Every structure is written in structure tokens, then in C-alpha cells.
Structure 1
């Protein structure tokens, strides 16, 4: 554990990965563990994107631009307020992460890494989720894994979600805001 890191060194975590990697689950659990605000990137889509997706039309980079900038605005507002937040966002391409993280040293990336077979099994097990194999393949084709200069925290999606959350906390070397003020947040 990096004993010199406090939650004040990190304002926002962006939890990324392909569909089915557990972004929403892990980000929500991590936010609860750290007592931080949780947001899901899907909540930031403009109405036009939602309508397009409901009609089965894939989004392009032009469609994603206002969505990514809305998430970046939330990140900046959280930072300005001195808060702490976690957002679950696919952020598959480096260009997307550059908008979300850019030159914000207090915003860190968590990459939930798993192979196609593991993700496909998880998606197949979801009762409320349908993703045809072609869409899953397109997720992996679009994925540009984070590079070392992005300072990613890389964790496997194979362990139990609780263990993944604890691995992230350990790799970041932080405790919750509540723990830093004397209240244990476990």
C-alpha cells in the first residue's frame, strides 16, 4: 500500500472496460466502500443518443462527443467542489480517455481487464441484458488498452467483485474520506 496517498490526492476514478466487464457493479461497490459519489456514464447521454440506441443504431464518435464532454464537466465540477467521485464508463478508446482524464493528475483510470470468453459468459448469464456476439466482438475490436503513461490501475475481472474492489483500493493506496477523518469505512 502506498502510505503517502490520501483520498485528497485523487478526486475522481474512471472505471473502464468493455460491456459485461462489471464496470457499474465495481464502480458502485467502490464508491460505497470509499464513501464517494457514484455516477454511471449512461446517465449522461443526450436524448438524441438515447433515441438512436433505442432504434438499434450504433453511436459514432460525433455522437459520443457531447456525452464525453458532459462526463468531463461532471468530473471538473466534482474536482472544483473538492469532492470525490467514481464514474463507470466504457472509455474504450484513448481519445475518449483523453477527454475524461486529460491533464487532470487527480483523476485516475481503473481498467477492468478480462478476456472475451469470460465476458461472453457473464453477458449470457444476465437475465436483463442482451448483447449479440457481433456487438461484443466490436467492443473488443474498439478497445485500446490503457498505456503506462495513462497511469491505469489494471485489475482482473475474474475474482469476486468484493475482492476486485479491495484490490483497487490497495493498488491506489487510499482509504475512504470517512476513514481519514477517524470513521472507519469498511
Structure 2
């Protein structure tokens, strides 16, 4: 979890490739209306997000029911969003970085519907996971994506 451009997908891909887990990118679950809205430079509202989060929660439930370890990347910026996704055994990995660190990453990204100008709105609504939430904080910018993924794998005891 974390703001756009923090490295969620990159670290998830490293983990799933190495450990053979199922993987889902939350962006792939957005309805076209959400994608169009973000592509036009407008942040999503909570009303836009609820059906999307329900679809993600269903995907998680299916993995749990099948006994399949999995990774899903999702911004999950607010606690209420994470509450929709929270299940026994689910651990949130918070890809934590400063606005400047993430903007630097976004400035090199091409072809994504989420525009760098929208990063401020994500930081504005971000509620960092609290002590009452099962999570790991992975600080970005402290190594290569391989090193970040290795640190996450170690924290998850994979």
C-alpha cells in the first residue's frame, strides 16, 4: 500500500516472481469510469472507490479460500479502505516515502493513467497505518528494488 509511484508494483513483482505467489494489481480492477476520471486529472472520491475495493476484497477472499499465498498492490490510503480489505492473515506492506522521493520516481514514469500532478492529493488523504493495524513499513529509496523486496521478504519471514 502507498501512494502512486512509491514502488508497490515493482516490489510486488519481485516478490511474486521469486516466491511464485499469485499477484493482482489493483489498478486493473478499476472500472473504466475511474480510469477516465484519473486520466483527466481528477482524484477519485470515496464513492468511486467502494465498488473497486469490494472487488479487490472478493479477489483476496478467493485466494484465502483456495489457500493460495498472494500479493495485491493497492494504494489503500485511508484506514477505512484498509478495513475493507483486512482479513485474518493479511499483512499490509506500507511503501513509505516522502513527497519528494515519490515525485522523483514519478517523473521517470511513462504511460500510466495516474498523473504526477495528482500525487499531492494522495499525500493529502494518506493515513499511515497505525499500531492497531497489522503492517510492515518499508522505507523507499534505501536501495534498489531488489533490495527493497528482499527487506520486505525478510520482514514477512518469507
Q: How high is the TM-score relative to the length of structure 1? A: 0.78
Aligned match of 2:133: 150
Matches of 2:79 and 2:6, distance apart in 1 = 18
Alpha carbons 2:106, 2:116 under 8 Å: kept: no
What is the DSSP-based 3-state SS (H/G/I as helix, E as strand, rest coil) of the residue aligned with 2:138? strand
* Structure 1 residue 63 displacement after superposition: 0.9
Q: Map of 1:93-112 to 2, 5 A cutoff?
A: 93-101=78-86, 104-112=87-95
Alpha carbons 2:8, 2:73 under 8 Å: kept: yes
Matches of 2:134 and 2:22, distance apart in 1 = 22
Match of 1:170 among 150, 154, 157: 154
1:137 is aligned to 2:116: no
Please, what is the CA RMSD of the aligned residues?
A: 1.5
What is the DSSP-based 3-state SS (H/G/I as helix, E as strand, rest coil) of the residue aligned with 2:92? strand
Aligned match of 2:43: 58
Aligned pairs, number: 156
Matches of 1:71 and 1:64, distance apart in 2 = 11
Matches of 1:173 and 1:54, distance apart in 2 = 38
Match of 1:23 among 8, 21, 29: 8
Which of 1 and 2 has greater Rg? 1
Consecutive unaligned residues in structure 1, runs of 5 or more: 1-15, 175-186
Change in Cα spacing, 1:25 to 1:116, as seen in structure 2 (3 Å) is: same
What is the DSSP-based 3-state SS (H/G/I as helix, E as strand, rest coil) of the residue aligned with 1:110? strand
